[in-house]
Amino acid sequence: MTAAGSANGHARLGSFPAAVEREAPREARSYHGQPVIKEPIWHPEIPWYFFAGGLGGASAGLAWLAELRGNEVLARRAWIGALVGTGMSPVLLISDLGRPARFLYMLRMFKVTSPMSVGSWVLAVSGGAASAAGLDALLPPARRRWRRLLRVAAIPARPAAAAAGLPLATYTGALIAQTAVPVWHEARRELPALFAAGAAASAGALASALTPVAHAGPARRLALVGCVAELAIVPLMEHRLGELGEPYHREAAGAYGRLARGLTVAGSLLLAARAERSRAAAAAGGALVLAGAACERWSVFKAGFQSARDPRYTVAPQRRRIAGGRTRGASRRVVAAGAARAAGLAGRGGAS
Amino acid sequence: MSELEVRTYGGEARPRVGFFTDTSLCIGCKACEVACKEWNRVPESPQGFTGNSYDNSIDLGANRWRHVAFVEQRKELGVDGVAAGGLVEAASLESLVTDTGLQTYQDGEGLRWLMASDVCKHCTHAACLEVCPTGALFRTEFGTVVVQEDVCNGCGYCIPACPFGVLDQREGDGRAWKCTLCYDRLKDDKEPACAQACPTDSIQFGELEELRGRADRRLEQLAEAGLEGAQLYLADSSDGVGGAGAFFLLLDDPEVYGLPPDPVDTTRDVGESWAAVGVAAAGLAAALIGSVLLGGRR
């Protein structure tokens, strides 16, 4: 053990001469190759929640609009998506907590600086409204008192669920963007749009699969719009990330990303070409698109972990910011002792 | 130093306190790690033998609120710098290493050994506090940042939010834990355990304003002595976290010690993130309306 430890030490000493490090800024220096930031501790519940929240949020909008348009057949199926999606969301979130019994503490306050706080309120509203609206749409009418109450409650709940579904499907982009994880924070402008696209695709896909083809036109169109947007936003995001886009092509994130692309393309082609006539094609295409949307969330999730794990992704962009003069960084040196004192300590800024 | 507003405390607000960790004085004794564990009853954190110099506690986390970093460096031998003798010595050290696999720290020449005790920075703009949905993380009357363990529900948001990787979840407990700057001791007008235990005064506790002045003078001193890499880290309110309550004098770049060179509180971009959510939500609404209301009814 000791010998092995020493050998490692020597290899490191040999391979990190200070002079060489200075000349190769791309290979950022690090502390024994260890991460600078912590990987998130979030479990698989979280990417599944991104998926479920997107599905539920966009399904509620689809259901309400289909109702307005008089397409009750589609609306009933879309309410199923809303009910399942928003119903699963709190279950997933609570089971991910370190202290699940304290889930109600999420509503102790409302903080706009915390997308998780805002999201908790959005989910509370959206989940409540979608439950009332969805149950009312699916349960057979009855003369019971609670059933009549549900009917009344569903009247405002339907538009409320549709409206709250929009932030529910998109805030999760801000949730992960507001972290120190490089590939998430630097993609803060694209992530909500990517999640919105996935939400549209999955809501449309589920409703296409569940609805008789004659009534599923709007759902198919929604799925296709979502798929096209999703396929367009991913390369845009990676382009804007530049070198930070790398994790999206590596390891699990890369695999999920390729899978997402393949499934989304195949599913949308099937939906576009055959789903108008064949219920089987609609079901298969819908399933493929749903799987694609889920994989896309997993790709984003995994890329965050991968970028957090490697100190290069944290240090190199920060060094470039400093080298490019966009920031001074957090270090202040004395340039030349005497001169600096004369100049009132050039590097001290607000410290005085 | 008006950048930190502790308005809610009114008359109970106390002067902001912090740590000035002067790494040029650190001897790597780890007394701070031990004192912290003892006083705060931080659970043991056996992490195994790393082979990373004398560092076997690896990083800050739920069960390590102080962490001493050890960095071994080949001494810089500038072109005009150290005499040829130094080079020869360095080369012979290298061959000793290759021939025998033995490390000879005690030979000293050609090697530089950096040590630094790391801790929660108690940032002026603390991302952990801003993203905490429950309010478990709060700003104390001393300007420090503390997790209330009876409120934390283990959502884990603060953990990737911290630009320094300070916080972590405690296994089997589920909550996030970190340095409290000995909040209990501060209330009794005592200095934090780590600072009291530090035998070389590498960890200095005090009112932030006074510490910053002391740090400026020390930096000048070291620069005059020819330590070119010396730098104050997080001592300036204009940096990405608005300066920190715990700041450092480092002898090399921050990343060498595992610290980010340009940490930022991502809260400054929260407006941009919400704007992107707004655009995305509007886009989703447009897609829904377009799909259902335009085109055929079926």
**Which residue in A92, A116, A331 has the most chain B C-beta atoms within 10 A of its own C-beta, making it the best mutation to test that interface?**
A331
Q: Are A54 and A169 in contact (CB under 8 A)?
A: yes
Same domain assignment for residues B191 and B277: no
Q: How many CA atoms lie within 13 A of A277 on its CB side?
A: 2
Q: Which range marks the domain in which residue B130 is found?
A: 12-75+110-264
B36–A contact, CB cutoff 8 A: no
Count how many domains chain B has: 2
Give the mean model confidence (pLDDT) for residues B67-78: 77
For residue A180, pLDDT over 60 is answered with: yes
What is the CATH T-level fold of the domain A45-310, as seen in this structure? Formate dehydrogenase/DMSO reductase fold (1.20.1630)
For residue A122, pLDDT over 50 is answered with: yes
Binned at pLDDT 50, 70 and 90, residue B98 comes out as: low
| Residue B7 falls inside a structural domain | no
Same domain assignment for residues B277 and B232: no
**Which residue in B166, B291, B297 has the most chain A C-beta atoms within 10 A of its own C-beta, making it the best mutation to test that interface?**
B291
CA distance A153 to chain B (A): 24
Least confident of A124-133, A138-147, B4-13, B116-125: B4-13
Same domain assignment for residues B203 and B282: no
Same domain assignment for residues B295 and B190: no
- Contact residues on chain B for A12, CB-CB shorter than 8 A: 72
Q: What are the extents of the domains in chain A? A: 45-310
Q: Between A351 and B199, where is the model more confident?
A: B199
A340–B contact, CB cutoff 8 A: yes
Same domain assignment for residues B288 and B158: no
d(CA A85, CA A203): 9
What's the sign of the alpha-carbon dihedral A85, A87, A92, A98? positive
Same domain assignment for residues B172 and B275: no
Same domain assignment for residues B201 and B272: no
Give the mean model confidence (pLDDT) for residues B140-152: 97
Prediction ipTM score: 0.89
Q: Are B155 and A172 in contact (CB under 8 A)?
A: no
% of chain B residues with pLDDT over 90: 74
CA distance A150 to chain B (A): 26
The per-residue pLDDT of chain B, averaged, comes to 88
From residue A120, how far is each of A246, A318, B276 by CA, in Å? 32, 32, 19
- Contact residues on chain A for B125, CB-CB shorter than 8 A: none
Same domain assignment for residues B285 and B139: no
Give the mean model confidence (pLDDT) for residues B66-82: 70
Q: Are B153 and B136 in contact (CB under 8 A)?
A: yes
pLDDT digits (tens, 9 = 90+) for B169-222: 999 999 999 999 999 999 999 999 999 999 999 999 999 999 999 999 999 999
Segment 143-202 of chain A within 8 Å of chain B by CB = 166-167, 169-171, 173-174, 177-181, 185, 188-193, 195-196, 199-200
From residue A268, how far is each of A221, A273, A295, B30 by CA, in Å? 10, 8, 15, 60
Same domain assignment for residues B154 and B290: no
pLDDT digits (tens, 9 = 90+) for A39-68: 999 999 999 999 999 999 999 999 999 999
pLDDT at A44: 97
pLDDT at A77: 97
Same domain assignment for residues B291 and B253: no
| Residue B105 falls inside a structural domain | no
- Contact residues on chain A for B110, CB-CB shorter than 8 A: none
| Residue B246 falls inside a structural domain | yes
For residue B80, pLDDT over 80 is answered with: no
pLDDT digits (tens, 9 = 90+) for A220-276: 999 999 999 999 999 999 999 999 999 999 999 999 999 999 999 999 999 999 999
Same domain assignment for residues B175 and B286: no
- Contact residues on chain A for B167, CB-CB shorter than 8 A: 38
Contact B132 A114 (CB under 8 A): yes
Same domain assignment for residues B220 and B296: no
Pairs of residues, one from chain A and one from chain B, whose beta carbons lie less than 8 Å apart:
371
